[in-house]
Amino acid sequence: MVSEVERLSHEVEALRARVEALERRLVPVADVPEEEARELERLRGEAVEGDYVPLDEVLARYGKRRG
């Protein structure tokens, strides 16, 4: 017998897959250099896992100034 937690976990995974499929259909795809694609995928992974980079570090990395 499947526990309620397992059932909800499966339901969340199914919803995540549906959202990702919709995202692929609705978000325009652009040709980007391989290096940029890797960076975008790394950032997406951080977002999915809940990791983050402080805003000041991002701004410093990309040469922008706050304010």
Q: Do 57 and 25 reside in the same domain of the chain?
A: no
**Comparison of pLDDT for 53 and 16, the residue scoring more:** 16
Range of the domain at 63: 31-67
Position 32 scores a pLDDT of: 82
User: What is the percentage of the chain residues whose pLDDT exceeds 70?
Assistant: 94
Q: Do 11 and 35 reside in the same domain of the chain?
A: no
Q: How many C-beta atoms lie closer than 10 Å to residue 59's C-beta? A: 13
Q: Do 16 and 41 reside in the same domain of the chain?
A: no
Q: Do 9 and 21 reside in the same domain of the chain?
A: yes
Average pLDDT over residues 12-38: 87
Residue 30 CA to residue 27 CA, distance in Å, equals 9
- Its pTM stands at 0.41
Q: What is the DSSP string of 21-60?
A: HHHHHHSPP----HHHHHHHHHHHHHHHHT----HHHHHH
Candidates 41, 24, 43; CA nearest to 32 is 41
pLDDT per position as a tens digit, 37-48 = 888 888 888 878
Q: Do 5 and 24 reside in the same domain of the chain?
A: yes
Average pLDDT over residues 21-42: 85
Residue 31 CA to residue 37 CA, distance in Å, equals 9
